[in-house]
């Protein structure tokens, strides 16, 4: 961290806090390793994520972010904090940003990466798939990854969790390590979801999800909305699961009275 960033970081944190208009509450928080550097891995679902993390974490970090906000007030704040800009559509830019992150880690700086690369507004996936560059860097430098998850149950409050550090062994496969990190963060999110009660699937309509998604989109200024949609549509993950994969678990079940309902056909009007 440069001398200028040392001066500006407290001011940037205050700015982040001023942008959040709802209470932020810790849910399941583990200690952050004192030894530096570390990589903070965060889930991504809305425009509030960056100022939220900025306001709750006192540690300084460089954040990996796409270069769309460059030149805007938000871009100025990101640059003042310290960031690694990347054009997600450009292979050269993606490669250059990994080298820049490698250089920052060598200098002992922390990194923060929103692993999913775009907003996860999927109604049933706690974490979108992501590339293994984060786990590859952690393996190369033998530094911990600190998972951070954010939940906005009603967008009138936020709950955050900081998980136990994830360590990548020198001989661990980078793809398997990425899958393990994804599972860890998905589990952190599930732990919070389990506190919110149980609902009948039939009571949650497609309209509910559409309203949720549109509210997230509209958090951008109206003039930015069309541009954001056009830019993000190539990065939004549209998962597809075959029926064979979705119901593969039924082959492992021993039919009984307790689970017979799982094998029955259901008709939806």
For 45-58, write each residue's pLDDT tens digit: 887 888 899 888 88
pLDDT at 252: 77
pLDDT in tens, 184-215: 999 999 999 888 766 666 666 655 556 666 66
Locus of tokens 């056009």: 230
Q: What's residue 88's pLDDT?
A: 77
Q: Where are the domains of the chain?
A: 3-196
Per-residue pLDDT at 161: 96
Q: Any idea how long the chain is?
A: 269
Separation CA 209–CA 217 (nearest Å) = 12
Residues 19-34 pLDDT 10s: 888 899 999 999 999 8
Tens of pLDDT, residues 121-135: 776 788 988 888 899
Contact 185, 41 (CB under 8 A): yes
Architecture of domain 3-196: 3-Layer(aba) Sandwich (3.40)
Residues 212-267 pLDDT 10s: 666 666 655 445 555 655 666 565 555 556 677 767 777 777 888 787 777 665 54
Report pLDDT for 267. Answer: 46
- What pTM value is reported for the model? 0.76
Distances (CA, A) of 128 to 31, 86, 97, 116, 131: 26, 19, 21, 6, 10
Q: What is the pLDDT of residue 210?
A: 62
pLDDT in tens, 58-92: 889 999 988 877 777 777 878 888 889 988 778 89
């Amino acid at each position: 961290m440069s001398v200028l960033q040392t001066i500006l970081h407290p001011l940037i944190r205050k700015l982040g806090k001023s942008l959040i208009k709802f209470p932020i509450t810790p849910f399941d928080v583990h200690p952050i390793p004192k030894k530096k550097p570390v990589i903070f891995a965060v889930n991504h679902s809305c425009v509030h994520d960056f100022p939220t993390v900025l306001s709750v974490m006192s540690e300084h970090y460089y954040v990996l972010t796409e270069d769309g906000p460059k030149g805007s007030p938000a871009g100025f704040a990101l640059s003042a904090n310290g960031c690694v800009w990347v054009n997600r559509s450009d292979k050269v830019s993606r490669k250059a940003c990994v080298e820049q992150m490698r250089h920052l880690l060598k200098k002992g700086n922390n990194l923060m990466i929103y692993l999913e690369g775009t907003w996860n507004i999927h109604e049933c996936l706690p974490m979108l798939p992501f590339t293994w560059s984060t786990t590859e860097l952690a393996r190369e430098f033998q530094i911990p990854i600190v998972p951070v998850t954010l939940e906005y149950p009603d967008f009138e409050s936020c709950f955050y969790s900081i998980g136990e550090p994830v360590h990548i062994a020198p001989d661990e496969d980078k793809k398997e390590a990425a899958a393990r990190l994804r599972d860890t963060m998905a589990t952190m999110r599930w732990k919070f979801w389990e506190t919110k009660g149980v609902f009948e699937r039939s009571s949650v309509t497609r309209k509910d999800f559409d309203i949720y998604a549109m509210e997230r989109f509209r958090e951008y200024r109206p003039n930015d909305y069309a541009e954001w949609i056009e830019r993000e549509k190539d990065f939004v993950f549209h998962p597809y699961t075959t029926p064979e994969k979705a119901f593969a678990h039924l082959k492992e079940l021993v039919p009984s009275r307790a689970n017979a309902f799982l094998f029955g056909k259901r008709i939806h009007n």
